[in-house]
A and B are shown apart, each in its own frame.
Chain A
């Protein structure tokens, strides 16, 4: 069981907007620690998608956006494209500075 809770799956039609939630607690997301998001296409290594709650690394399309509020964070994908079909993971830290992950969310483009 993962420390951070994500929905197992979300889906949307091309062009739609989908959001993925990541729920933690006062000892991780709700503390001072940032949330990061990763995209993993099956068979490949995860790729950093959002860092520091809402920042995009160079090369990540601005269709991807992140936010954090209280003990939760969210990843939004607007203008959904077929190439966005992948697994998405949130990640933060807890008060012992251990790394914590969400269980992952599979995004399906209908």
Chain B
């Protein structure tokens, strides 16, 4: 059974950089797309970006200047870095698997709450 698990700090300060990791278990990280999605409290889902197992990326234009997603196939992990944090970045952050554009996000992590506050 494929499982995803997010890990990282629950509290970060404004202007700092958030680093989250998603560990994939039960399957190889290839040949899929791996995505980060967030959900501010009480609001809807917002796509952050995705990475193909080979390393190519695509980011939300509204976040592109602050986002970096990377993959480590040897560890079966992919990671998110989001810089210049503000309180608007407070959200539950999810990682998810996308087998293809026709298949949707079929596997999700449980999500990790990140609060941006001084």
A and B are partners in one complex rather than unrelated chains: yes
- Interface residues of chain A, those whose CB is within 8 Å of chain B, are 2, 33-34, 36, 38, 44-48, 50-52, 57, 89, 91, 93, 96-104
Q: A97 to B110: give the CA distance in the assembly, Å.
A: 25
Q: Are A45 and B110 in contact (CB under 8 A)?
A: yes
Cβ A52 vs Cβ B104 within 8 A: yes
Residues A98 and B102 in contact in the complex (CB < 8 Å), given A45-B108, A45-B110: no
Query: For the complex, what is the distance from the CA of A98 to the CA of B61, rounded to whole Å?
Result: 8
The answer to whether the Cβ of B87 comes within 8 Å of any Cβ in the partner chain is no
Chain A residue with Cβ nearest B108: A45
- Residues in A neighbouring B61, C-beta threshold 8 A: 96, 98
Q: Closest CB-CB distance, A103 to chain B, in whole Å?
A: 5
A47 contacts which chain B residues (CB < 8 A)?
108
Q: How far is the CB of B69 from chain A (nearest CB, A)?
A: 13
